[in-house]
Amino acid sequence: MIVALARRCRALFLVLAVLLPTVVALAPGAAAQSCPQAELIFARGRIEPAGAGQIGSALIGALRQKTGMDIDLYSVNYPADTEIDIGANDMSRRIQYMMDNCPDTRLVLGGYSLGAAVTDVVLAVPIAAFGFRNPLPAGADRQIAAVALFGNGIAWVGPISNFNPLYSDRTIELCHGDDPICNPTDPENWQDYWADHLAPAYINAGMVNQAADFVAGRL
């Protein structure tokens, strides 16, 4: 069984590495903090500046407006270059920190492009493997209220629920138009459709608002 899990994890890492093109926040604090009603833990897209990125920033604003809740934002701390494992380790650490220190806070996980791949690893890989050292403990799913993914390369092999069905009913995966990262339509000429993958395309198409409606209904 362990060998099978290792092979599955390796396959997931390889898929994500191949599908994400080569062209184109803060660490958990040790001090005590007041616990919000909810927290969005978001991983930005590839080569976006540090922070939550355009989509993460738009999503937290929409969630606060739609719910009226006290919702914190945690920006996954990673280089956002090719280091999916670094991002996955940080996201998982934050989830576990909140489980230990704010057990009543509802968690929302999210990611765009490379950040979606980061989230895939956290939710789908149950063992330490291939640089991912912080798999989620049993029971983490009880605190994770919703998952919002944008431009997710794993769509080429199926939704995240194929890897971990625990999150199938609380996950929204959005793919804009002919975004070549998440829409397997014309892989030979993917550069022609690159504009559909850019963050403003998702925001302008109302997909962040769509995700916020979905998440708000689960908080």
Q: Which of 99, 116, 85 is nearest to 20 (CA)?
A: 116
Q: Which two tokens stand for residue 106?
A: 């509802």
- The question of whether 179 is a catalytic residue gets the answer yes
Q: How many CB atoms lie within 10 A of CB 7?
A: 11
Catalytic residue among 90, 113, 176, 196: 113
User: What single DSSP character describes residue 104?
Assistant: T
Q: What is the distance between the alpha carbons of residues 169 and 16, in angstroms, rounded to a whole number?
A: 22
Whether 145 and 106 have beta carbons less than 8 Å apart is answered as yes
Q: Which two tokens stand for residue 120?
A: 């895939």
Catalytic residue among 57, 72, 196, 197: 197
Cβ-Cβ contacts under 8 Å for 162 (sequence gap 6 or more)? none
Angle between helices 84-101 and 114-124 (to 10 degrees): 60
Q: What is the distance between the alpha carbons of residues 131 and 17, in angstroms, rounded to a whole number?
A: 13
Q: What is the distance between the alpha carbons of residues 182 and 113, in angstroms, rounded to a whole number?
A: 9
Q: Which two tokens stand for residue 72?
A: 């914190």
The Cα diameter of the chain in Å comes to 52
Catalytic residue among 85, 120, 179, 196: 179
- The question of whether 197 is a catalytic residue gets the answer yes
Q: Which two tokens stand for residue 105?
A: 């806070």
Task: Please list the active-site residues.
Answer: 113, 179, 197
